[in-house]
Amino acid sequence: MTPTHGIRQDLSSDLAPEAARAPEKEAAGIPDAEPKGAKEGRQPWPDLNLIRAGATVIVILGALALLHFAASVFITLFSAMMLAFALEPLVHLLCVRTPLRRHHASGIVVFLFVALLYGIFYGTYLRAESFLAEIPAIAEKIRSAPIVERITSRADELNRVVAEAGRRIAPPAASARPKAVPPVEQDVETFTGALLHGLGSLSGVLFALGFIPFLVYFILADREPLTRRTRELFPERHRTLVGEILLDIEQMMRKFLLGNAVIALILSTATALVFFLVGLPYPVVLGFLSGTLSIVPYLGLPLALLPGGIVGLVSFDSGEPFLVLIAAVTVLHIVAANYLTPKLVGGGVRLNATASTVALLFFGVLWGGMGLVLGIPILAVLKCIFDNIPSTQRIGRFFGE
């Protein structure tokens, strides 16, 4: 064997892979450099899907906590955005028909809107002042009404039977002494307190009401820069999609808000007229309240029946005016739901009944009465986002009709 042949054999043996040399080592009795226990004891790679799911849960819980503890901030912001969507056509009309710049047109529209609201609330307060003064007397009449007394007595009897059955099933020990229960102060929440639950105290309510007109003005005046800056927050390949989502949200919210405002005005006028014809006291106040509550999705009919039904229960001596009142409110709500809403609001929201009811329940618990007002628009905005993103279109279809 020549020396060159031996060198070639050495080089080929050095360049051979470890897997091919392993049987030769075992045959020669040479131990492996890395023990088998070390290979078996290696830690597996972490599951990225599990980490991603855990991070998603943490983000959702953090968002819920933020919505709860910063409720006044979000209620103020969402209310200002909704008003800005509703007032945008007026600002655009002023900019097109007059030589006013957008900042000046926005200021005029916001000022006129605030003045209109003040006039409506002042007129309503003058009409409702005597009604508010008689609320304690009306509540006393409701408690002393025969039907209410019968329901109360039946409820007390049922509670007594249940308590007696509980004592028979689990009798108390002979040596056990009844513990003195400290008196609990019940915090009776008024209607206004329930409506403005998420805004906190009176100072928080005034603070939010003072900020909303300024936010609406800034959103209207800086519409184009805000839209451009929002698109620039995302990578360039997604900016066209973001622009389409913003346009879809704006059109949907504008149609939803303006349509519901017109429906509420029509229902309030018709309901007040019905209350006046049947002889219900304070027809304007109760009609306005009933017509406004009637536009709440899927809960509008029972809410619309409450104002007139409760006052009519103690005001009418016979049952005929009460039945006429209930039938008229029901017919008005059905006509609005089947004819006015499809024409004025249309299918812009496109939410199914289950998703809408869950949204009302969730935001109602989270923010009180203001959650009932903002729950459906917030869910509709989320659906617009989900519908335009390919990876979340299944969630949008789940919320849709």
Domain count along the chain: 3
**Contact indicator for 221, 105 with CB cutoff of 8 Å:** no
Pair 279, 325 in one domain: yes
Pair 89, 216 in one domain: yes
Q: What digits encode the pLDDT tens for the residues 225-236?
A: 888 888 888 888
SS3 95: helix
- 386 assigned to some structural domain: yes
Domain range spanning residue 101?
A: 71-142+197-221
Q: What digits encode the pLDDT tens for the residues 66-118?
A: 888 888 888 888 888 888 888 888 888 898 888 888 889 999 999 998 898 88
- 15 assigned to some structural domain: no
Helix (H) or strand (E) holding 208: helix 202-221
Q: What digits encode the pLDDT tens for the residues 146-162?
A: 666 666 777 777 777 77
Pair 269, 302 in one domain: yes
- Rounded to whole angstroms, the Cα distance separating 281 from 312 reads 8
Q: What digits encode the pLDDT tens for the residues 116-140?
A: 888 877 776 666 666 666 666 666 6
**Contact indicator for 385, 341 with CB cutoff of 8 Å:** no
- 64 assigned to some structural domain: no
At residue 182 the predicted structure's pLDDT band, cuts being 50, 70 and 90, is very low
For residues 236-240, give the mean pLDDT: 86
Pair 379, 324 in one domain: no
Pair 211, 324 in one domain: no
Q: Helix/strand/coil (H, E, C) string of 127-170? A: HHHHHHHCHHHHHHHHHHCHHHHHHHHHHHHHHHHHHHHHHHHC
